[in-house]
Amino acid sequence: MMDQLGIRVEEIEGVEKVMIVCKDEKYVFDEPTVTAMKAQGQKTFQISGNYKILGRIRKEDIELVSQQANVSEEDAKKALKKCDNNPAEAIMWLMEKDSKK
């Protein structure tokens, strides 16, 4: 029926990663399933699978890093950005940075 309407659907094979980049965050899909649908000259993609959000920094993480590394919340936020929002890595990075002073 979709053929009669001129709609073509195909799965894109071998996709390793898809990233959607927004102003303040990135959605990263590792090994997603990607389907392409073409209808009336327009191509639409559907992405499904597990993803993580990079760039969104939680207030709790900022507070944790700030307290554990004994730095300002602004410095904690910068460290979280540098360490892909991983609080443990951000704390370790800040402590290593501080020990080199």
Could you report the per-residue pLDDT of 15-33, keeping only the tens digit for each? 999 999 988 788 999 999 9
Same domain for 66 and 95?
A: yes
For the record, the structure tokens of 65 come out as 């890093």
| Residue predicted with more confidence, 91 or 41 | 91
d(Cα 31, Cα 49) in Å, to the nearest integer?
7
Predicted local confidence at residue 46, as pLDDT: 97
Q: How many domains does the chain have?
A: 2
Q: Record the pTM.
A: 0.56
Q: Look at residue 70 and give its three-state secondary structure.
A: coil
- Confidence check: pLDDT of 1 > 80: no
At 87 the pLDDT is 94
**CATH at 45:** 2.20.70.30
Are 68 and 91 in contact by the 8 Å Cβ rule? The answer is: yes
Structure confidence by residue, pLDDT tens digits, 46-91: 999 999 887 778 899 999 999 999 999 999 999 998 888 889 999 9
21 is in which domain, residue-wise? 8-54
Of the residues 20, 39, 54, the one at which a domain ends: 54
Give a yes or no: residue 1 inside a domain: no
Q: Is residue 66 in a domain? A: yes
Residue 13 confidence (pLDDT)? 96
In sequence order, the β-bridge partners of residue 51 are: 29
pLDDT at residue 58, rounded to an integer: 87
Residue 23 lies in a domain: yes
